[in-house]
Amino acid sequence: MANTKSAEKRHRQNLQQRARNRAHRSRLRTAIKNLRAAMSSGDASAAEALLPTTFSVIDKIAQKRVIHPNAASRYKSRLAKRVAELKQA
């Protein structure tokens, strides 16, 4: 446990930041899950409509450094590729 005032403050800050990051990550996972659900149902128009909002969530989470920017790019690339394949079919 923290012994100094600065360590106690740092601990409080870490707890707050962890809670904030968990909320952001949860929002990200929900957005991706909704897009994947639309894709698995075969609804190309719904998936295409969800794509920009999902990209926005991914970009915001990467900007806050909750996920690495390269991971964000990878998510976006794979999702866009799957939506494009769905549109082709």
pLDDT tens, per residue, the chain with 89 residues: 789 999 999 999 999 999 999 999 999 999 999 999 999 999 999 999 999 999 999 999 999 999 999 999 999 999 999 999 999 98
Res 89: pLDDT: 81
Superfamily of domain 5-88: Ribosomal protein S20 (1.20.58.110)
Nearest Cα neighbor of 88 from 49, 51, 39 is 39
Joined together, the tokens standing for residue 52 give 């920009």
How many Å apart are CA 81 and CA 64, to the nearest integer?
Answer: 25
Domain residue spans of the chain: 5-88
Distance set, CA 6 to CA 2, 16, 39, 83 (Å): 8, 15, 49, 49
Residues 87/43, Cβ–Cβ less than 8 Å: no
